Structure 1
Amino acid sequence: MTSKQPRILIVDDEPEIRSFMSDALDVFGYQVGAASNADEAFALIARTRFDLVMSDLRLPGLRGWDFAARLRSIDPVLPLIVLTGSAPDDEDLCRVREAGIAVLHKPIPLPQLETAVTAALGGRAA
């Protein structure tokens, strides 16, 4: 992989989701990092430049909206896509949407994943 390929961080406490997302994004040609919780994610963000973060709405110890707010305080322009299996009227999900953050509902069809990632990266495909 070259350094010109966009780098995406996947944050999800479910190993199967991290694996699925990592494998799919790798096939699409992206560089992928993965974290199982918010602390791991922020440690990776502190030492690695990412072009996009994709995070579960429900992380152990840190709710989705709180994760988004903390990410914005670190890097206000780093794109974020929130992944969720929650109902559309979930309070945290509503706050995320109101903030203009993209949301993908699990299970995520591969074409929808690829389209959302390309859009979040400003049209920059791998």
Structure 2
Amino acid sequence: MTQIPVETILTRYFSVSASGKHPATVQRYERVLAHLKLFLEEEGDSSINPESATLLALERQFQPDDAFARLLGAEDLVFALPRFLSSAWLLSDFHDRLAQISLVSRLVQWLCSRELVDSRWHRHAVMQTRAAAEKARRRAVT
């Protein structure tokens, strides 16, 4: 599989997701994207493999800004996504939170359908993200 940087993946995915949507929805998606980028830079490395974490730590010594998004790829992203749906990272606004859950759930499917992540090889991470999305969805509406 081709290693495409997370920043490219997220730009493409959010652009496609926002295409043709109402301006208010586009703004909501932009808030989710900004929050996801913040999460990846602050806590994304806690879910990735040791080799990627070491490489990321080295990169941050030289260019800390957006290092995760610039250096790592889809596989690292898919391992980080379940944690982004934890209570600590869910957006406070109800509609933003629902968009966050929905966008992340669809992002995993998008990564698999474009063969950026092999759903058989990374089945556990894909299933964890789907389970985290379902759990977050249940919490959001109760």
Structure with higher RCO (Cα < 8 A, 6+ apart): 2
Larger Rg: 2
Task: Answer whether TM exceeds 0.5 for this pair.
Answer: no
TM-score normalized with structure 2 length: 0.25
The structure with the greater share of residues assigned to helix is 2
The structure with the greater share of residues assigned to strand is 1
